Amino acid sequence: MSNNQSPFALSRRQFMAGAAGLGLTTLASGLIVPQAFAQEATPKRGGVLKLGIGGGSTTDTFDIRVLNDWVPVNQAYMTFNGLVEIDKDNQVQPELFESWEPSADAKEWTFKIRQGVTFHDGKTLTAEDILYSLNLHRGEASTSAARSTAGQFADVVKVSDTEIKIVLDSGNADLPYILSDYHFLIVPEGFEDWTKPIGTGPFKLESYEPGVRARFTRNESYWKPNTAWVDAVEVIVINDIAARTNAMMSGQVHAINQLDFKTVDLLKRNPNLEVVQSAGGQHFTFLMDCTQGPYTDNNVRMAIKYAIDREQLLTTALRGYGKLGNDHPIPVTDPFYAADLPQRAYDPEKSKFYLKEAGLDSLDIELSASDAAFSGAVDAAAIFQSSAAASGINLSIKREPSDGYWSNVWMKAPFSMGYWGGRPTADQMLTIAYSSTSAQNDTHWKNETFDAKLVEARALLDNAKRKEIYAELQQLISDDGGAMIPMFGDYLDAVSTKLGGVTTHPMFNFMGARLAEKVWLEA
Amino acid sequence: MIELILKRVALGILTLLLVSALIFAGTQLLPGDVASAILGQNATPQSLAALRQDLGLDLPAWQRYLTWLQGFATGDLGMSLANRQPVADLLWPRFGNTMALAAYAAIVSVPIAVLLGLAAAVRRGGIFDRGINIVALAFVSLPEYFLGLLLILFLSVQFNLLPSLADTYAGMSFPDWLRATTLPALTLVLVTVAQMMRMTRTAVLSVMDQAYVETAFLKGLRTKRVVLRHALPNAAAPIVNVVAFNIAYLITGVVLVEAIFNYNGLGRFMVDAVAKRDLPLVQAAAMVFGAAYVILNSIADIAAIALNPRLRHPR
């Protein structure tokens, strides 16, 4: 259950060299225990953890239905618990659900509720609380962002005081993973006052100024063993990347999220901090609309996929902090990753070949680019422009404003840029962006074989068989889909060397947004 | 005199009205609206339409403007569209923060600037005068975000003397508050001192060249007395003007400084509001900034009149 048994071993070389070289001994001596020792050292209780988090605004709330940015999500995980938890190895682990059992067709799932858990107000967790919390995301009137995910729950019923059953529209072997969505958090039955959140989580909210700061104190009766080490957590919202980095460099906070790829290498020189690099499902896309010319022709799509220098893009735009993409959205960290699929390389000759197949000598296209898609997107477009020229593709870059990018350009322009955050399962990722009925199918790609196999794989409990089908689906997207996916970006955080218990995590920054619960302060 | 002041006030109100119309028109030109900003990548046409209707965004722009203006005129700033909180509750504490930072910077920078200006004027052409001018020009030409980052690099990251985050909260002690806000205040001081100092020097010097000052010197008065009693009062109008102008800048020009130091003031708040297309917030913040600017400029004008006998008693 506990996820902090093996702290992530990070390089200590820079720490030793840097501390001696810069003469920062006053800062270093006695205060910083190198992680190699911390690994053996037992966790310590106490201290005030200060987090500088980007991704908050004055409109933030604790309402679990509308959590949509990193500050509210991290704060929600301090206050509430989920039903399940994704561990650092991308495996689902029990949280408020203690265990589960699917029916043979994966349509009906019975979950055992953890007993003896209490809310911050002293009330004991019951099946009714879980029903109420899940139902917040269901029904016609629900304003929840997880409404479409919860839409597949045909019924959620109480079996006994210790068990509930979820009945699905159709079989889904990934249900426990789906329940790890950060909207599926648990509040007491009938709870409505989101300004005074009550959960079963590791910390209690003490003071709150949305978009500015928040302070939490430890829930002394927290049920989860080996967690909630610090006495209090202070969250300072720092949206400006430079301000966030400065706060980390000057030691005002113990950890910051979402580092700038461009400055990570400089940040690493600082002896008082560690950079945590987590591979995950976050990937960056060049989206061709399969319903708009010339991208209706797969030869054109293939020509474009061979016209990009992925290696160069990765080393330039992400400074190497990522993985090469193979034109499908499943990351290496996913158990269903198609490892046998050969990596597509930069090949202007092949690209020209496909253009010829499409009956073209050269291709004039326009790419709508904006840093709203991801930080460095416009630079990435320029790199693509120069590598594509070799295969006779004349790319013009149309710079779009960041404001309104998602409503005015994304899914509307024939060729645009975008990104996807990781999803806990291959099925979710493939469904949301590639199934023909999804509202967020951002390439408008429709493939009946794909749709049918996706549904088939979803209901299978046999993982070997599933892996086979998912490999086929990845190849299908890679060879026919409308998305050119050149790279996956790692999640980058910086943490103070005073923090113990920090690990990488495949979901999101800050250990799946649960850092506050897991870490302790050394000395 | 009274008539003049009333005229200034009326002009100020007209300016504010124009500002509000311009800001409103400007926000209409921006792509996207609060509904798409709230829903982001999760927006579907149905949810967008529902949210727009919910927020009253389906009404024509002029109608929304008039509704807002009516509310504003009666002292009702309206509700934030994004989180449905009263604008006033969100706005005034941050306005207080911005004013506090501006006051901190002004209390330090105004006396320093005037004294340095006077000293430079008295020692015209000397080493001190030239040195201070070069330093002043250097700071004036550095953009405040660069200056702020330099200060952070040296005072915060390298020597760890002051915090780089201006992290303030309700109930913090005054010394803590001073410590937290010293870096942003220092940045503002450095940017504004230079201009005020140079203006003071120029104003005093232009008076010092006049015949009556020469007469005063020939009468055998000491430099200090000539400068303080004879030159300074006549140079006061332009000095007050530039001081008022700089204080207005301290209030309205802090957006970048607030971003660099993560200070919870009105500037950062307004940027947030624009990004979310939260019109009532943007309008209210713009009106506060506009009002600060207009009021301080009016004060400068009125002071210039009050300090100048020729304008005070026009023939």
Mean pLDDT of chain A: 87
Percent share of chain A, pLDDT over 90? 67
User: What backbone phi and psi angles, to 5 degrees, belong to A231?
Assistant: -70, -35
- pLDDT of A119 reads 96
- pLDDT of B38 reads 65
Gap between the Cα atoms of A275 and A245, Å rounded: 12
Residues 6+ apart with CB under 8 A from A348: A306, A307, A390, A391
DSSP B159: S
Nearest to A238 among B38, B83, B262 (CB): B262
Place of tokens 């339409």: B49
- pLDDT of A347 reads 94
Task: Check if the beta carbon of residue A375 is closer than 8 Å to that of residue A260.
Answer: yes
Gap between the Cα atoms of A378 and A393, Å rounded: 18
Q: Which residues of chain B have pLDDT under 50?
A: none
Q: How many helices (H) and strands (E) does chain A have?
A: 19, 21
Closest to B259 (Cα-Cα) out of A236, A240, A244, A247: A240
Gap between the Cα atoms of A186 and A199, Å rounded: 7
pTM recorded for the entire structure: 0.83
CA distances from B305 to A104, B55, B234, B310 (A): 90, 48, 12, 8
pLDDT tens-digit profile of B160-191? 888 888 888 888 889 989 988 999 999 999 88
Query: What pairs with residue B183 in β-bridges?
Result: none
Read off the pLDDT band of A364 (50, 70, 90): very high
Residues 63-92 of A with CB under 8 A from B: 68
Mean pLDDT of chain B: 83
Helix, strand, or coil here: A434? helix
- pLDDT of B44 reads 65
Gap between the Cα atoms of B149 and B244, Å rounded: 27
- Residue A377's Cβ-count burial label (10 Å; 0-12, 13-18, 19+) is buried
B173 or A230, higher pLDDT: A230
pLDDT tens-digit profile of A313-334? 999 888 999 999 999 999 998 9
Nearest to A251 among B38, B48, B160 (CB): B160
DSSP H or E run through B17 = helix B2-29
Nearest CA in chain A to B164: A247
CA triplet B179, B183, B189: central angle to 5 degrees? 120
Q: How many helices (H) and strands (E) does chain B have?
A: 15, 0
Residues 12-31 of B with CB under 8 A from A: 30-31
Task: Check if the beta carbon of residue A234 is closer than 8 Å to that of residue A50.
Answer: yes
Residues 128-157 of A with CB under 8 A from B: 145
- pLDDT of A122 reads 94
- pLDDT of A28 reads 33
Residue A18, pLDDT > 70, answer: no
This model of the complex carries an ipTM of: 0.78
- pLDDT of A430 reads 94
A383 or B248, higher pLDDT: A383
Contact criterion met (CB < 8 Å) for A407 and B169: no
User: What backbone phi and psi angles, to 5 degrees, belong to A296?
Assistant: -70, -25
Inform me whether the C-beta atom of residue B156 falls under 8 Å from chain A C-beta atoms.
yes
- pLDDT of B37 reads 67
CA distances from A67 to A240, A304, B43 (A): 20, 36, 14
Inform me whether the C-beta atom of residue B174 falls under 8 Å from chain A C-beta atoms.
no
Query: What pairs with residue A445 in β-bridges?
Result: none
Nearest to A59 among B32, B165, B276 (CB): B276
Query: What pairs with residue A396 in β-bridges?
Result: A366
CA distances from A391 to A348, A365, B74 (A): 5, 13, 65
Query: What pairs with residue A484 in β-bridges?
Result: A286
The stretch A132-140 carries a mean pLDDT of: 90
- pLDDT of B246 reads 87
B59 or A479, higher pLDDT: A479
The stretch A499-522 carries a mean pLDDT of: 92
A108 or B238, higher pLDDT: A108
Gap between the Cα atoms of A482 and A472, Å rounded: 16
Residue A108, pLDDT > 80, answer: yes
Contact criterion met (CB < 8 Å) for B259 and A243: yes
Nearest to A246 among B48, B82, B156 (CB): B156
